[in-house]
Amino acid sequence: MRHFTNVKDLGDLKQAVAEALEVKANRYNYQHLGQNKTMLLIFFNSSLRTRLSTQKAAMNLGMNTMVLDITQGAWKLETERGVVMDGDKPEHLFEAVPVMGCYCDVIGVRAFARFENKEEDYNEMILNQFIQLSGKPVVSMEACTGHPLQSFADLITIEEYKSKERPKVVLTWAPHPRALPQAVPNSFADFMNETDYDFVITHPEGYELDPRFVRGAKVEYDQKKAFEGADFIYAKNWAAFTDPNYGQILSKDRNWTVGVEQMALTNDAHFMHCLPVRRNMIVTDDVIEGPRSIVIPEAANREISAQVVIKRILEGI
């Protein structure tokens, strides 16, 4: 594998999950791969899980790690070409990225959608500049349109917890006070559509996701109907994708908050969320603390998804 930006980079998903389970059981067996290799993690946005789990994965593989919060302590970066740089940005991304590439063997990048320009977000401008200019393999640690390390961990978790071959998996929108990107639901749909699960997406009208990610998935506007017989409930907020409302909040309807009443409609479903989660907006205390909540093992699998991805990259360099 050269770069990791979406589900396709993993190839056969059954093989990828099998490899993940092997890595999980023997995570320190591959230390020779990362000897004298350095992983650089660049964050344009906050993170708890991605920051720690990706570093841990690299360390499991014998790598050295460096982390830079690029908006704190580094020079403020210009991203547009042709700008007369007489403002508050002393450095251009076009120099900063190749320089960062000089100091490492693999680069992880987190750069969320900015909601200023839909085309720029959906063209993954920053992630692609790292791919084009760093000269090094690039791992998406959540870019504008996807968070594949998260969705790979989600898939591993579902495979571990499913009690039937073809579970019903429901992605539900839930309310949130701030506008959040579509990266997590986009990637989740992208991965689920590659499985043979019964996959359903439910959200209020106006929250339709990019059809390139939804593809053949069922979309059900009635959350209660969608929850019937579900084996896994995957909650997430996202802001509107469709024009003219791109990046806007259209609803904060707390009837969509996942509570015990909604969960009672399911087939004793497991509750999932990528975290961080706002309690009693996205999900009630009772559900997230309940016996069917698997948010912590789901987060633990972030170390494993990252390790498989970095391992495959190291095997190719």
Compare residues 71 and 245 and give the one whose CB is closer to ligand CP: 71
Q: Which is nearer to ligand AN0, 134 or 186 (CB)?
A: 186
The structure tokens 């975290």 sit at: 275
Look at the block and give the residue holding tokens 């009208």. 205
Question: Strand, helix or coil at 283?
Answer: strand
Residue 49 binding ligand CP, by CB under 6 A: yes
Residues 29-48 that bind ligand CP (CB under 6 A): 47-48
274 lines the binding site for ligand AN0 (CB under 6 A): yes
For residue 257, give the nearest of 238, 274, 237 by alpha carbon. Answer: 237
Per CB under 6 A, the segment of 61-69, 179-187, 281-289, 307-315 that binds ligand AN0 is 179-187
The conformational region for residue 124 under phi > 0 = left, psi -120 to 50 = alpha, else beta, is left
Alpha helices by DSSP H, the chain: 13-25, 49-60, 93-102, 118-122, 125-133, 148-161, 183-192, 211-214, 223-227, 260-263, 285-289, 295-315
Residues 133-162 that bind ligand AN0 (CB under 6 A): 142
201 near ligand CP, judged by CB under 6 A: no
Does 133 bind ligand CP (CB under 6 A)? Our answer is no
d(CA 39, CA 106): 5
Find which of ligand CP, ligand AN0, none residue 180 binds, CB within 5 to 8 Å per kind.
ligand AN0
Q: For ligand AN0, what does the binding mask look like between residues 183 and 202, x meaning CB under 6 A? A: xx------------------
Interacting residue ranges for ligand CP, rule: CB under 6 A = 47-50, 142, 150, 274-276
